[in-house]
């Protein structure tokens, strides 16, 4: 991610890392499809992880460039909707392949998608896009290197609140796929444990909620102040965490879990497009690549730390009460950071 961000700031077209990422993904599909031992599987995962790291900063940055006369806030809302749709379709096809005992079909499917992806980004629309360079702001050309570095440092300070908020929101997103299913299967002090089928059904419903709500909420918030969207997200995730903590102690806990899932969907669909738009507006033209890399890195960090932490807490205490109370407290502590975000039109 960071290396891609640096090259983007040096003037590399956004379409270049996207093409490289697609090629690495195709290589990974070939290796994973033919893997029959741990070592060959590890080689495939290496190429897959590299593809994802190269892809994200460029994929985020190309959105405002491609929007042109279309508001970038609506563009990010539309892109997040496409993300949600892709996740739903991929989960469905992956589940179907597993039921048919043909799980390696997913690698063939990914190969087909990457070929379509390469054809798409080779269209003239992408080739004509501007580069992310210092030249996009003529005032920067007249500054000394010291002043440019100062502007970069100030830009990094401005996005720090967004990065902390992103780590929290992406941790919740990660817990939906790890900590929450574990908590539901394990049961609470009074809430009975769910079987794997019901637990999986709830997570499926959550994915559908994200898909259904992403565009309406994202489009609505595109006309609102960025702080409003971030506050709505934090309040929703805070209340959802509180409900999940309480659900463990009551017999009607499953009902509270269902309400919490709706609040989480509102919180995440509010946060993802709003935070990305904030990063674009807060970073200057000379370091948009590296700041977007830092933002996307939050997804990687939380996907590693959150599941491990959740597993240890649930194993130690026997339920998810402490986990969700902790997430509620973190949300309260992060709330003042929203007011420190200053975005000038």
Distance CA 332, CA 326 (A): 10
Q: pLDDT at position 295, please?
A: 92
What is the rounded CA–CA span in Å between residue 96 and residue 85?
17
Q: How many CA atoms lie within 13 A of 341 on its CB side?
A: 29
Number of neighbouring beta carbons within 10 Å of residue 181: 17
How far is residue 179's CA from residue 300's CA, in Å, rounded to a whole number?
Answer: 16
pLDDT for res 133: 45
CA–CA–CA angle 91, 97, 98 (5° rounding): 90
pTM, entire model: 0.87
What letter would DSSP give residue 129? P
Sign, CA dihedral 72-235-331-207, equals: negative
pLDDT at 147: 53
Residue-level pLDDT at 275: 93
Buried b (16+ CB within 10 A) or exposed e, 195-225: eeeebeebbeebbebbbebbbebbbebbeee
d(CA 93, CA 196): 19
- Spatial neighbors of 76 by CB under 8 A, at least 6 apart, are 63, 218, 222, 272, 273, 276, 277
Token representation of residue 336: 């003042």
**Dist. CA 149–CA 9, nearest whole Å:** 13
* Cα separation, 166 vs 197, whole angstroms: 31
pLDDT along the chain (345 residues), means of 10: 91 91 96 93 95 92 84 90 91 86 91 93 61 42 50 75 95 92 89 83 85 94 92 97 95 92 95 92 84 91 94 92 96 93 72
Distance separating alpha carbons of residues 4 and 132, to the nearest angstrom:
12
Give the whole-angstrom CA distance, residue 112 versus residue 280.
Answer: 32
Return the pLDDT at 341: 87
């Amino acid at each position: 991610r960071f290396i891609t961000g640096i090259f983007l700031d040096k003037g590399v077209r956004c379409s270049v890392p996207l093409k490289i990422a697609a090629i690495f993904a195709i290589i990974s599909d070939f290796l994973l499809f033919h893997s029959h031992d741990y070592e060959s599987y590890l080689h495939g995962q290496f190429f897959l992880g590299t593809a994802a790291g190269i892809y994200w900063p460029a994929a985020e940055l190309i959105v405002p460039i491609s929007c042109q006369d279309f508001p970038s806030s609506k563009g990010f809302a539309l892109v997040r909707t496409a993300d949600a749709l892709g996740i739903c379709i991929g989960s469905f096809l992956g589940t179907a392949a597993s039921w048919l005992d043909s799980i390696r079909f997913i690698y063939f499917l990914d190969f087909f998608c990457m070929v379509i992806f390469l054809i798409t980004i080779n269209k003239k629309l992408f080739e004509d896009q501007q580069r992310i360079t210092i030249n996009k702001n003529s005032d920067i050309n007249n500054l000394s290197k010291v002043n440019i570095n100062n502007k970069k440092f100030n830009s990094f300070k401005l996005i720090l609140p967004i990065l902390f908020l992103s780590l929290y929101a992406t941790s919740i997103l990660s817990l939906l796929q790890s900590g929450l299913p574990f908590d539901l299967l394990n049961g609470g002090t009074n809430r009975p444990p769910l079987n794997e089928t019901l637990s999986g059904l709830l997570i499926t419903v959550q994915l559908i909620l994200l898909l259904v709500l992403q565009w309406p909420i994202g489009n609505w918030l595109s006309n609102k102040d960025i702080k409003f969207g971030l506050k709505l997200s934090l309040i929703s995730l805070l209340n959802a965490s509180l409900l999940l903590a309480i659900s463990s102690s009551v017999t009607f806990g499953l009902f509270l879990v269902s309400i919490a899932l709706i609040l989480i969907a509102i919180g995440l669909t509010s946060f993802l497009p709003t935070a990305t738009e904030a990063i674009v507006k807060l970073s200057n033209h000379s370091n948009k690549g590296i700041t977007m890399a830092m933002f996307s890195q939050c997804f990687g960090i939380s996907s590693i730390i959150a599941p491990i932490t959740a597993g240890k807490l649930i194993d130690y205490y026997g339920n998810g009460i402490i986990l969700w109370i902790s997430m509620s407290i973190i949300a309260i502590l992060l709330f003042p950071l929203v007011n420190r975000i200053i975005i000038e039109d």
